[in-house]
Structure 1
Amino acid sequence: MGLIETDETNLFTFESFAAHEFYTDVNRALVKQTLAHLRTQEGDKPLTIVDMACGTGAVTRLIAEELVRQGHSAQLRLVGVDPSAEALRLAQKGMDELHLPANITSDFIQGESEDLPNLVHDVDAAFFCNAIHLVPDKVAAFKQVSAILAPQGIFGCNSAFYDGTYVPGTERFYRLWTRRAVGWLKKEHPEAHLSREAKAMAMQWLNPDQYIQALKENGFTTVETQSTNIEISLDGWRDLGQYWLFIEGALPGVPLADGARALEIAVYQAGEELGLNAIPRTWLQMVAIKQ
C-alpha cells in the first residue's frame, strides 16, 4: 500500500478509534462469520490465519478470542502483517496480555500487502479489516490474497468507506464537519493551506456488487455480503479524526497536529449545529471462499 511511517504519524494512530465498543462489535461479527467456516473443516491439522494490515492488533485479538471460544484443539498460528513497526509492537503486547492456550501462537511481521506471498502460503483464513478502501488496486489485492490462501481458504474483509456507506440524510454532517474544520484552520492557522496536489490514498469507492464481482473474478467462488448499520458517537468521529490517514484524506497538505485539532473542534461544532450525538454509518462485511 505504500504507507509511510514516520515519528509524526506514530503520534496520530488508529488505536483510539479501534478501542470503541462499536468498532469491536462490527469486527467481532465479521470474525465470527468468517471463522464459522473453519468448523466445517474436519481433522486436527495445523491452521494458519493471517490478519493483513493488522495495525495495533485489535482484530487479531478478536480472532484469537473466537478461536478459543470455538475450542479448537489443533495447532493455530496467527500472523499479523503491517507496515508500521510501532503498531506491531503494540499488537504483540496486546496479544501477550491475552495469555492464550499453548496451541495458539502469534507472529507479527513488518511488511506491505505485496510482501504477503513471500511471508506466508497455504493459509486457511485471511482477514483484511477496515483497510481495503486504502488500496488503489483492489483487484491486485484480491489476487494476492487468493495466492496465499489454500484451496477452500476463507477471506474476511470489511469497510465503512464504500459506495453505500452513508446512511441517507447523514451526508450533511460530513460536509459541515469539513467546512467547520477548514474555517477553524483559516482563523487559527492561516499559514496552513489545503493542498490541491496532495492526493488522498486510493479513495476509489466500490459498491457491494463491484466488490463481489472483483472477488469472483480473482479466485473466489462464494461471496457472502452483509450491510450493518453502526451508531458512531461524536467521540468516535473525533478519535477517527486523530488518525493520520484520515487527516490526510480530509485536510490534505495540512500539518497533522493542526488537522487533528481542527477536526476535533469541528466535529462537536457540527454535532451541536445539527443536534446530533451520534451519526450512523453502514459497514460492508464480506466473506469469500477460494475455489
Structure 2
Amino acid sequence: MGLIETDETNKFTFEPFAAHPFYTEVNRALVRQALGHLSQKKDNQTITVVDMACGTGAISRLVIEEMERQGMLAQLRLIGVDPSAEALRRARKGVDEMGLSVQVEFIQGESEDLPKLVQNVDLAFFCNAIHLLTDKQTAFQMVASILAPEGIFACNSAFYNGTYATGTDRFYRLWTRRAVAWLRKEHPEARLSREAKAAAMQWVDSDDYVRLYQESGFEHVDIVQETANISLDAWRDLGQYWLFIEGALPGVPLAQGAQALEVAVYQAGEELGLQEVPRNWLQMVGIKK
C-alpha cells in the first residue's frame, strides 16, 4: 500500500477506534452484504475469502461469525494478509479464541503480493482502507486478477465526498481550528505543512468508485450508504491514529498532533452541544464478469 509504518507510528494505531461497537456493526453490514452474493455456492464447494490489510483480524472474525451463522463454516478457507507481524499474531490469537474449527491462514505481506499468494478467490475484502491508496485503479485491477469468475470484491470507506452527514461540516472545521489553536499555544514551534496532503484526504465520489469497479471488470456494483453515530470518545480515538493525524495536521509531530486533536474534539463537542456526530459510510460490493 506504500504506507510506511515505523516504531513511532505503531504507537498511534487504528485499533482503539476500531474497538467501538458502531465500527463492528458497520463492517458486519458489509460482510453480510457481500456474503449475500454467495448463496448460489453448492454445499460441497470450498469458499476462499481473502481479508486484505487484515490488521488484527476484526473483519476476519466477522466473516467467520457470519459463515457460521449461515451454516457454511465448513466450506470456508480464509486468508488474511497484512505487512505487520504483530498484527497477524493478534489476528491469529483472536481467531483461536473463537474456539471454532475453521481453515485460516495469516500471511505477512503487502496487498500487491496477493497474485503470487492466491488465485481463484471467491470473495475479497478490503475494509476501511481503499481511500488510503493514491492509485486505486491498480488496486481494483489487482483484486480482479485474483478473483474467480463471478468473484466478489467488497470494500468500504468513511473518507469520500459525501461522508459528512448533513450539518456536520462545522464540527470538523471547529475541531481542526481548535487543534491548531492549541498547538500554537502549547507548541508554537510546530508548523503545519502547506505542501503535504495525506492520501487519506484525497477523496473521490461514489460515482468514481462505480467507475473504478466497472473499468476493472466488475459488472454488478452494489453501493449502499449507511450512517453511523460516532461518539466524541470514538472521534478522540480516531484522532490518535497516525494517518488521521497526518491528514488533519500535516507536518506536525504525531505526539503533539494526537494531543491537540484529543483536547480539541471535546472543545468542539462542547461548543456545539454534541455528544456524537453522525458519519456516512460507503459500502461497496462488485461482482467480476
TM-score tier after normalising by the smaller chain length:
over 0.9
Q: Distance in 1 between matches of 2:61 and 2:196?
A: 34
Deviations 1:84-110 (A, max 9, x none): 222222212211111122xx2222222
Task: Please list every run of 5 or more consecutive structure 1 residues that lacks an aligned counterpart in the other structure.
Answer: none
* Percent identity for Structure 1 against Structure 2: 70
Q: 2:119 aligns with which of 94, 118, 121?
A: 121
Cα contact 2:179–2:264 (8 A) shared by 1: yes
Contact 2:200 2:247 in 1 (8 A): no
Moved more, 106-115 or 278-287: 106-115
1:244 is matched by which residue type in structure 2? W
Query: Is the Cα contact below 8 Å between 1:45 and 1:74 reproduced in 2?
Result: no
Could you tell me which runs of 5 or more consecutive residues in structure 2 were left unpaired when the two chains were aligned: none
Supply the distance in 2 between the matched residues of 1:223 and 1:191 (Cα, whole angstroms): 48
State the distance in 1 between where 2:220 and 2:187 align.
Answer: 51
Aligned partner of residue 228 in structure 2, secondary structure: strand
Which stretch has the larger CA shift, 241-250 or 89-98? 89-98
Distance 1:33 1:187 in 2: 47
Pairwise mapping of residues 228-239 of structure 1 onto structure 2 (< 5 A)? 228-239=226-237
Q: 2 CA distance for matches of 1:264 and 1:16?
A: 13
Contact persistence 1:10–1:86 (CA under 8 A): no
For 1:6, the aligned partner's letter is: T
* Cα distance in 2 for residues equivalent to 1:138 and 1:204: 11
Report the Cα distance in structure 1 between the residues aligned to 2:85 and 2:178, rounded to whole angstroms.
34
Tell me the secondary structure at the aligned position of residue 198 of structure 1.
Answer: coil
State the partner residue of 1:153.
Answer: 151
1:189 is aligned to 187
Per-residue deviation, residues 176-215 of structure 1 (Å, max 9, x unmatched): 1011111111111112211223331253322112211210
Give the TM-score of the pair, scaled to structure 1. 0.96
Report what 2:224 is aligned to: 226
2:199 aligns with one of 194, 198, 201: 201
Structure 1 segments (4+ residues) deviating >6 Å: none
Q: Residue 83 of structure 1: CA displacement?
A: 2.2
TM-score by length of 2: 0.96
| 1:289 paired residue number | 287
Q: Give the match for residue 168 of structure 2.
A: 170
Displacement after TM superposition at 1:39 (Å): 1.8
Task: Give the residue type in structure 2 aligned to 1:171.
Answer: D
Partners of 1:136 and 1:69 lie apart in 2 by 36
Report the AA paired with residue 162 of structure 1: Y
Q: Does 1:38 align with 2:66?
A: no
Shift of 1:252: 1.1
| Cα root mean square deviation, aligned | 1.3
User: Which amino acid in the other structure matches residue 159 of structure 1?
Assistant: S
Deviation at 1:255, TM superposition (A): 1.3
